[in-house]
Amino acid sequence: MARREFGVVGLGKFGLSLAKSLMTHGQTVVGVDSDPEKVKAASEVLTHAYQAEAVDKVALEQLGFGELPSVIVSTGHSMEASILITLFLKELGCKSVTVKAMSRDHEKVLIKVGADAVIFPERFAAEQLAAKLAVPGLIDYLPLGTNVILKEIIVEDWAGKTLRDLDLTNTIGIQVVAVKRLEEKQFVFVPKADEPLQKGDVLAVIGHGEELLDLDS
């Protein structure tokens, strides 16, 4: 995996958790927050953590945030701060600015001042949980459109048939993206269409929830 450098503005619960996850994925992360306790905690795990007022354009410039290829802004409950920081980052030349928003109106303003992406972590978490509760075998809820999910299906009635025989894309509108054979521990991605399935094989399929909810294999 290629190492990239990220900036995180705001090291509260969401900002620090995101920064830690990026570090886990082998990335370089520079964080900034005005709270010395948050900076102290972050400095133990991040590449660099600075105490500064991110609403100060000069401070952002001196810390090099405008030169980072990607910055995530997570400034708690201050809409004004996130808007100003987004504006300053884009003026300083940051190519990609992702901002945590609190409302649709907040999102509209962020987009107008140049945000490249706007996220609603609490809403996304709620959608993930609702999908997992509603769809047994759910692997992930994907933000690719309305109710798009990735789900595991254990092969039963489809045993002996191939993916070409089943033609699931044209018959029921789902796509098999990986297969884990009964005797294997890992999924094989982009499975071959002409290999017969065995009872107990696990299919990872993507599609809309309504197509997958009561699907039998």
pLDDT by residue, tens only, the chain of 217 residues: 457 899 999 999 999 999 998 998 889 999 999 999 999 999 999 999 999 999 999 999 999 999 999 999 999 778 999 999 999 999 999 999 999 998 999 999 999 999 999 998 877 777 666 766 666 665 665 555 556 777 888 899 999 999 999 998 888 888 888 898 988 888 888 888 999 999 999 998 888 766 666 676 6
Domain ranges of the chain: 5-119, 125-212
- The CATH classification number of 125-212 equals 3.30.70.1450
DSSP letter (8 states) at residue 197: P
CA atoms within 13 A on the CB side of 150: 10
- If you classify domain 5-119 with CATH, what class do you get? alpha beta
Q: Return the number of other C-beta atoms located less than 10 Å from residue 100's C-beta.
A: 23
Q: Which residues contact 82 (CB under 8 A, 6 or more apart)?
A: 73, 75, 99, 100, 101, 106, 110
Structure-token pair, residue 117: 């992406």
